[in-house]
Structures are given as structure tokens and as C-alpha cells.
Amino acid sequence: MIQPNTATAPPRKKLRVGQSASNQLLGYALVLPLVFFIGFLSIYPTVLTFIDSFFTDNPLDPPVRFTGLQNYFEMFKNPMINHSWGNTAIYVVIGVLITTVLSTGIALALRDNFKGRGIVLAILILPWALPGVTEGIIWQWIYDPTFGVLNSVLHSAHIIHAYHVWLGSSRFGTIFFIAVVQIWQITPLATILILASLQSIPQELYDASTVDGAGWWRTTFTMTIPLIRPGLAIAVIEALITFLNIFDQVYVLNGNASTGNSIMLQTYNTTFQNLNFGEGYALSFMTVIITMLVSVGLLKLIYRRVDY
């Protein structure tokens, strides 16, 4: 009987194992500089902030003293800080919901190729490329109660009969109109992230859906949305982090007024205006922790692995 020749099988297996190990080492080598970079810019300052939050650090009241959790207790008793947390929660709810819906709709509209699509994408990305302060100045001109574009357009269209003060007149109104500016900035990035997920869906799935008689609405909500959940999760987390840390637009459009005060603006006021660095460190660290917890929670809620 002729025996099968298996003499060459082990070397091939060893070669594959060797190649796999080599690829793994290459992957670690490529990622390692990024890990050090992120650690230097993010983790190291966070650790220092956590340590410094246990000290009373005020240039007007030297020296620096260890006070344990006193900064955290004082922080929770401060009505301005609690008010800022409430404002920030409203920013997050309004901003994340509108950004998610708007970016998903735009991404669906841009999924298929059409004439001028590249120009539309280039124009779409412009708000995201602008600095936050620049956007605040642009929208300050739009919201101006005397000669602002918004009042002028609405008055010319006979939607309003008198010019309105859009910022500062009410808490919810101020937060909403400032959130619109941040939505205008972050929606392009969220759209690109969702569009990338949309373009990774095989066309064969849509062909099969058409053959089965599924309409656009059914295909979108039963197939497209579930398949883009990885990209959707990243877009939602990006919007969440942006609105939890909103600062530039609030500072430019509303100053230090309590109607739209965000937690980042309050951190700035506590640290650099009140010179209470210890409480500022505590507030900054709490913001980091809450951002991480809410981000992980949303990620677990939305993200699902997709296999085609």
C-alpha cells in the first residue's frame, strides 16, 4: 500500500506559526509609539491631576496643604458647580440625539455615488475643520439681536414680528442655541464615521433585500442600521465626549453667564479666576471619570460586532 507523504506538513505549520508571531510583533511595534504618545498626553496628566486634587493649592493662601477629600466635598456643595453639571447634561442630551439623527440621515443620503458628491463631502467637512473660537465668533454674528442673520431671515420671512435675544434670555434656550453651534461642528465627523460603515456593507445584501420585496424603510431599519452599529457607536461616543467637554462656544457666545455655563467653563472659572487649583483639579478629574463611565456604558449599549 502506498503511504501518503506527510513529511512536508510540519515545516509548513512551523512557517505559518513563525509568520503569525512575526506579524504580531510587527503590530505591537507599530502600536507602541502611539501608546507612549497617548500615555504622555493623557494618562500621565490624569494621574497628576488625581494626586493634586487631594491638596489645597491656592496662590492667595500658601502653602500647598494635603486636605484629603475636602476638595471633592466642597465641589459637591457648590451650587454653581451643580448648576453647571445640570447644564452639561442638557447639552449632552440635546447634542448627542440631534447629532446622531442628523449625521445618520446625511450619511444615508451620501451613500450612493452621484454627480458632485465629492464637492458636497468637501463642503460638509469644513465646519469640523474650523477652530471652536472661530465658530463661536461666526455664530455670534448670526445670533446678534440687533443685526444678526437669524433675526433678519426670520423677520423677512414673517416668522417673527420683532427681533429676539437668542442667548441669555432663558436657560434652555441659551443651551439649545449654543448646542446648535457644537452640532454644526461635530456632525461632519459623525457623518464620515457612519458613512464609512455604510460603504462597508456588501451590495449583495441590498440586492437580496430588493428581491425579497423589502422597501427602503424596512431595509434601512432592519438591515442598514444594525449593520452600521460599530460606526454608529464611535460617532455617538465622539459626540458625547465633545458635548461633555464643550467650552469654546459657551465662552465666546455666553461668557460667564450662568444660563449656559458648562462644567468645562466652570472648571476654568474655579481654577483660573478663583485661583482654587485644588478644587479645579478635583472637578477636572471628576469630569474625566464621568466621561469614561458614560462612554463605556454607551459603547456597551450600542456597539455590536458585525460579521458579513
82-302 — its CATH code?
1.10.3720.10
Note down pLDDT in tens along the chain; length 308 residues: 445 454 444 444 444 555 667 777 887 888 888 888 887 888 888 888 899 999 988 887 788 888 889 999 988 888 999 999 999 999 999 999 999 999 999 999 888 888 888 888 888 888 888 888 888 889 999 998 888 899 998 988 888 888 888 888 889 999 999 999 999 999 999 999 999 999 888 888 888 888 877 787 888 888 888 888 989 999 999 999 999 999 989 999 988 888 889 999 999 999 998 888 999 999 999 999 999 999 999 989 888 777 66
Whether 252 and 140 have beta carbons less than 8 Å apart is answered as yes
Alpha-carbon span 262 to 266, nearest angstrom: 6
Whether 134 and 220 have beta carbons less than 8 Å apart is answered as no
Closest C-alpha to 287, from 265, 271, 263, 270: 263
Tell me 257's DSSP state.
-
| Secondary structure (3-state) at 66 | strand
Q: For residue 307, give Cα distances in angstroms to 199, 202, 206.
A: 15, 11, 16
Tell me 283's DSSP state.
H
